[in-house]
């Protein structure tokens, strides 16, 4: 719960009774192992989920077998506003690593949202932030060459993990296969390999045991032409 609460706190000024209400939710923890499917496309949204530990992805498989990863789900991140309103999932959710998630019945969260405006706002913010990430993803894939896309992905994942982590590590806490990066960025595995080599050779990153370490964060942002505003890191606080 803690990562989720600390993430939500960044989106709204939660009071102690809001936090207590969250803690009073009848949650259930579930564990998945890497590569396991959490949600099949077409599955109904009758629960609300969030990630406690490990990374997951939203992905779509096209008729010709190719895969596009639409987004990553990091610890503290909320699975979807759609959990609040039902419907069916238009994509799959897949564990990228060993994964621990909490789930709560949609009805209980709906009650929370009705009774507590601050929690409602925090959850809406969470949805707004994910939409911003999606928009940025469109921009990157649509208009950036491979080097910038890869640089961008690494820089943004590092920032996102910092959002709900205590220590601001310069290393991505999970190892990413080249095929994962390729499917996220619309590139081929081979070209991702070449591009990562380029980033290593220019001294921006380092890879050990599959885990990427950012050596020169500013250089990486420059390589990505990365504007950090989109993450809505500070949430409503910046709106003043």
Partner DNA sequence: CGCCCCGTTGAGGAGAGTCAATGGCTGTGG
Partner DNA sequence: CCACAGCCATTGACTCTCCTCAACGGGGCG
The interface partner of residue 188, options being its own copies, DNA, none and the CB cut-off 5 to 8 Å by kind, is: DNA
Segment 136 to 165, residues that bind its own copies, using CB under 8 A: 136-139, 141-144
Cβ contacts of 93 within 8 Å, gap of 6 or more:
37, 38, 39, 56, 57, 58, 59, 73, 79
Smaller CB distance to DNA: residue 5 or 139?
139
- CA 54/CA 24 separation, integer angstroms: 24
Q: Least distance to its own copies from the beta carbon of 181, Å? A: 12
- CA 149/CA 157 separation, integer angstroms: 12
CB 156 within 8 A of CB 45: no
The interface mask with its own copies, positions 80-119, x = CB under 8 A, is xxx-xxxxx-xx------------------x--xx--x--
Helix (H, G, I), strand (E, B) or coil at 38: strand
Which contacts of 119-122 are long-range, i.e. CB under 8 A and separated by 24 or more positions?
A: 119/8, 119/12, 119/14, 119/18, 119/21, 119/22, 121/11, 121/12, 121/236, 122/8, 122/9, 122/11, 122/12, 122/14
The interface partner of residue 189, options being DNA, its own copies, none and the CB cut-off 5 to 8 Å by kind, is: DNA
The interface partner of residue 95, options being DNA, its own copies, none and the CB cut-off 5 to 8 Å by kind, is: none
Q: Which residues bind its own copies (CB under 8 A)?
A: 42, 44-45, 58, 60, 62-64, 66-68, 70-71, 80-82, 84-88, 90-91, 110, 113-114, 117, 120-121, 124-125, 127-128, 130-132, 134-139, 141-144, 185-186, 225, 229-230, 232, 235-236, 238-239
Q: Which residues bind DNA (CB under 7 A)?
A: 145-147, 177-179, 186-191, 193-194, 196-197, 207, 209-210
């Amino acid at each position: 719960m803690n990562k989720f609460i600390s993430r939500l706190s960044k989106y709204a000024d939660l009071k102690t009774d809001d936090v207590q209400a969250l803690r009073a939710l009848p949650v259930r923890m579930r564990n998945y192992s890497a590569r396991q499917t959490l949600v099949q496309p077409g599955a109904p949204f009758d629960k609300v989920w969030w990630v406690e530990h490990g990374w997951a992805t939203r992905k779509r498989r096209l008729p010709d077998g190719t895969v596009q990863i639409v987004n990553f789900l990091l610890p503290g991140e909320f699975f979807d506003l759609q959990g609040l309103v039902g419907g069916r999932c238009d994509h799959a959710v897949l564990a990228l690593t060993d994964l621990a998630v909490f789930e709560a019945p949609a009805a209980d969260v709906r009650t929370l949202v009705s009774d507590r405006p601050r929690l409602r706002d925090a959850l809406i913010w969470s949805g707004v932030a994910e939409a911003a990430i999606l928009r940025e993803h469109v921009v990157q894939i649509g208009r950036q060459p491979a080097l910038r896309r890869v640089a961008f992905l690494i820089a943004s994942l590092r920032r996102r993990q910092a959002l709900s982590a205590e220590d601001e590590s310069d290393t991505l806490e999970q190892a990413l296969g080249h095929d994962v990066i390729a499917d996220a960025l619309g590139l081929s595995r081979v070209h991702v390999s070449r591009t990562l080599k380029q980033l290593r050779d220019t001294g921006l990153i380092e890879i050990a045991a599959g885990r990427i370490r950012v050596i020169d964060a500013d250089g990486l942002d420059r390589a990505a032409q990365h504007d950090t505003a989109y993450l809505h890191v500070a949430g409503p606080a910046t709106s003043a």
